[in-house]
Structure formats: C-alpha cells, structure tokens
Structure 1
Amino acid sequence: MRRSLVRLDPADVSFTAIRAQGAGGQNVNKVSNAVHLRFDVAASSLPDAVKARLLAQADQRISEGGVIVIKAQSHRSLELNKTEALARLQALVDAAAHVPKVRKATRPTLASQQRRLAGKASRSQIKQGRGRVGGLD
C-alpha cells in the first residue's frame, strides 16, 4: 500500500450526516447514514503548492469557492461512510501532491534519423514499383 505524501488535518474536515438515496427500504427514509464531507482548500493546512494544484484540477467535486464536497453513501453505517469519504479526499490530495516529472525535449540521434530515412527510401522504391509498366507506342 502506498504511503500518503501529505497528511490531512482532521480539524480541516467537516462532516454532515444526510439521508442516503436509492434502495434500502424503510431504513433509508428514517436513518441519516450518508455523509457529506466538506474540505475548504484555501483555509486548510496543506502546503501552498498542493493547494494550487488541487484547485487547478477540473473536478466536479471542487466548487468555485474552493470547497471540496464528497458524498459517501455506499455503506449502511455512518462510520464506514466517513472513513470512505476521508479515503477519497486523501486520494484526491495525494494526486495533487504528486509533482509530475518535467519532460526534457531531446533530439533524435543520427542513427535513428538515418534508419528513418532508409525506411522511407525503401518504402518509396516499393511504391515506385507499383506504377505502370513500360509504355505502349
């Protein structure tokens, strides 16, 4: 299992218990087991670089005000839904904490250029051979 690059402060996260949607019979209509997790990116204790990359992501869970809202309702218990929501938030933060490697532009080697040109020449010869055979006078 991968270790998290950045740890979340539990004080930055707020939970709201809501009623879950979908099937579940009478229990769904009575018990608030689903969870809305709210995480304000700007007010959090994350490093500034991670905050910037997190807010730059095109994710529908991030509002215009910079608040991440995650809804978890797959489990029947409130605690399991809280744990799942925190895991999804941690995965989102970990993805933002990973700095992509900068690509350095390189030039093709002389040998690879010559191989490419030789391939083009041989292909040209094959196609030249498909032309009309000698002219009739």
Structure 2
Amino acid sequence: MDANAVCILARNKDTTTRFRVSPDGLAALNDHLIASGPTAMRDQGTAARFGMSGGGGIAEGYVMAGDAQALAEAFGMVRDPEGNAIIHEVNLAEPFAEGKAPVAAIAVDLMGSLATRERSAGQRIINELLHV
C-alpha cells in the first residue's frame, strides 16, 4: 500500500465544504477549528514534522458533523468551491479528542491540495507512517 491508496481509502473520512470568509473572519474562524492541512503548520512541531512553515490566508480544519453551517452563519461565510475556508465535518470525535488532528488526517488533507509542495509533504508523511 502507498500514500495514494490511503487517500482513496480515506475519501469518506469527512464531508468537506469550502467557504469564502473575510480576512477578519478567517482569523476568528481558526479558533473554532481543529487545524488541518496548511493551517496545522502554525504548530511548530507539526510544521517541523512536515518540513513546512505556517500557512496564512486560509483556514482549514475539523468540526463535528452539523457544525459547519452554524459556523457559516456565525461568520457570514458563503459556500465557494475556491474559498479560503475549508471545513471538514466528521462523525467520530475520538481521533480529535485532544484538540489536534491526527498526523495521518493532516497528511491526507495536504495530499488534496493543489500546491505541489503541500501534496508532496502529505504523501511523504503517509509513506513514512506506512513503513514504520
């Protein structure tokens, strides 16, 4: 098994919705998400593990199923397939109980990025996890 196979198997791990939010709303939204993708790189340990730096201009993270709409209303977000806020809704809280996304989830989310560097970092981490 390789990283691409893991991504295929993980394709139903969440329901992902992209929104457009104002720059002020973006900063506040991050406080309500369990960071993933490039947003998770704001944590120095995570950034070091992935060999990346903190991402700006985007909010990406996890919430429990049903919470995305409430956040959209609270922050005046509108659905936008190219939006700057990516919300992953999950039904299973246990992997996120410590308030952090699992490394594998962050890696899979990065593999869905259009940015080559992010995709490569996610793929590298998944392959490392598979071959530990």
Specify the TM-score bucket, using the shorter chain as the normaliser: under 0.3
RCO (CA 8 Å, sep 6+): is it higher in 1 or 2?
A: 2
The alignment's TM-score, normalised by the length of structure 2, stands at 0.27
**Which of 1 and 2 has greater Rg?**
1
Q: Which has the higher helix share?
A: 2
TM-score, normalised on structure 1? 0.26
